[in-house]
Structure 1
Amino acid sequence: MSTVKIKDKTFQTSIAESEIKNRVKALAQQISHDMEGKTPLFLGVLNGAFIFAADLIREMSIPCEISFVKLASYQGTTSTGKVHEVLGINEDLSGRTVIIVEDIVESGQTMKRMIESLGTRNPASVHVCALFFKPDKLKEDINLDYVAFRIPDDFIVGYGLDYDGLGRDLKDIYTIVQE
C-alpha cells in the first residue's frame, strides 16, 4: 500500500486503478442496457467528475452526449453546505434523458439542488450516476440510480477528486491517514 503527501496531509491507497476501471465499465454496461433506444445527455459535474465522466462515456455502447456543469460546495476537506452554481447548462433539456455524473455524493445537497434546477428545464427524466457514495452522510431524500462505490466517511483524493486543488491526477483512490 503506497502513501502520498499532499500539502499537510498524508494519504494511503484504498482503491486501485484496476478496480475503478472495472466498476466504471460495469456501470457503463448497466446504463447502456437501461437506456437502450435513447440518447442520454450526460452532465458531468466539474471539477471532480471529469475523469470519471470521460472514462464512463468511452465505455458506453449506445449513442450519448456529454456536457459539463460546475458547482462548488467544498473548502479544504469539508463541505461548506452551500452550493454555488459556477458554470451553467447551455443545452436544451426538454424531453431529454439526463444522467448527472458526480464524483461523490455525501449529504446529497448538491444533487438535490442540481435535480431541482434541471427539473425546471423539462427533461423526460433525470438520473444520478455517482462514482462514490457515503450513505452515512446522506441528509437529503434523493435517488442514486448508479453507484460505483459505497464508502465510509473518510476523505479521499485521486481519480479526479482533490485536496485543495491537488491530487486529481492520481490514478488510484487514496484515503486520508489520521495522524
Structure 2
Amino acid sequence: MHSDLDRILVPGRDIEAKVAELGWKISRDYAGKQLLTVGILKGSTIFMADLVRAISIPVSFDFMAVASYGLSSSSSGVVRILKDLDESIEGQDVLLIEDIVDTGLTLNYLLETLRTRNPASLRVCVLLDKPNRRRVEVPIDYPGFVIPDEFVVGYGLDYGGRYRNLPDVWVLKPEVYGKKNSEFRIQNSE
C-alpha cells in the first residue's frame, strides 16, 4: 500500500491538534444550543468521529451519502444523493461536516438542498480545502487545512475504497490514480 503513496501532506499529529481546535471553536459558538452534525459519507467518518468527541456540548448526528465523481478522479459536477438524512432538520442548528472541498460543486449542492429544509442555522466544517480548484465559492465556517491541488488519501479519504484507514493525509502517486482500471471507483463526495 505505501508503495502507492508519495509523501505525507498532513501528519496525524497536526490533524489531532486541528480537530481539538475546531472542537473548541464549535463548542464555544454553539454553547447553550443542541447541535446536529451531518457527516458526508464515507470520507468524513473518521474526521467526524474525532471531531464530535472534541466538542464539549450536546451533539447528535446524522449522515448523507452523495456521489459526484463517478469513475473519475475529479468531480463531474453532477451530484446524486445516495442516502438522505433520517430525520427532519427544520428548526435545528446544523453543522455539515465534509472531508474535502475541491470544486465546491458538491458542497454548494448540499447547502442549497439543506437550506430548503429550513434549519435554524447551517454551517460547514471541512478538514481539507483546495481553493485552487474552486469553481463555485462556498462558505467554510470551520476550516481545517488549505492544501495544494494534489490527489490525497488517508484519514477517511480514499481512492477506489482504499487508504481510508491511514492516520495521516498522504499524496497519492499520479501513476496510481492515472490508471484506467475498473477496480478503482472514487468514493469521495468531494
Counterpart in the other structure of 1:48? 43
- 1:141 aligned to 137, 156, 164, which one? 137
Check conservation: 1:44, 1:102, Cα contact below 8 A. yes
Selected match of 1:4 from 2, 12, 17: 2
Which structure shows the higher strand fraction?
Answer: 1
Q: 1:76 Cα deviation (Å)?
A: 4.4
Q: Deviations over 1:147-179 (max 9, x none)?
A: 110111100000000011100011111112346
- Letter paired with 1:152: P
Q: 1:92 aligns with which of 67, 88, 111?
A: 88
Other-structure match for 1:71: 66
Mapped partners of 1:27, 1:91: distance in 2 = 25
| In structure 1, distance between residues paired with 2:72 and 2:50 | 26
Q: Which letter does structure 2 place at the counterpart of 1:124?
A: A
Q: Distance in 1 between matches of 2:62 and 2:41?
A: 10
Paired amino acid for 2:23: A
Q: Which residue of 1 aligns with 2:185?
A: none
Q: Normalised by the size of structure 2, how large is the TM-score?
A: 0.87
Q: Which runs of 5+ in 2 are unaligned?
A: 176-190
Question: What corresponds to 2:184 in structure 1?
Answer: none
Bigger Cα displacement from structure 2, 91-100 vs 70-79:
70-79
**1:36-82: CA deviation from partner (whole Å, max 9, x where unpaired):** 11111000000000000000001101111111100111234222221
Percent identity over the alignment?
A: 40
Q: Does residue 1:37 correspond to 2:32, yes or no?
A: yes
Question: How far is the alpha carbon of 1:85 from its aligned partner?
Answer: 0.5
Contact 2:5-2:170 within 8 A present in 1 as well: no
Query: Deviation of residue 22 (structure 1)?
Result: 0.6
Distance 1:10 1:54 in 2: 25
Q: Match of 1:164?
A: 160
Between 40-49 and 76-85, the greater mean CA deviation after superposition? 76-85
Structure 1 vs Structure 2 CA RMSD = 1.4
Q: 1:18 aligns with which of 7, 13, 17?
A: 13
**Could you tell me which residue of structure 1 aligns to residue 121 of structure 2?**
125
For the 8 Å contact 1:76–1:164, the answer to whether it is kept is no
TM-score normalised by length of structure 1: 0.92
Conserved 8 A contact 1:4-1:12: no
What is the match of residue 180 of structure 2?
none
> Partners of 1:90 and 1:169 in 2: how far apart?
26
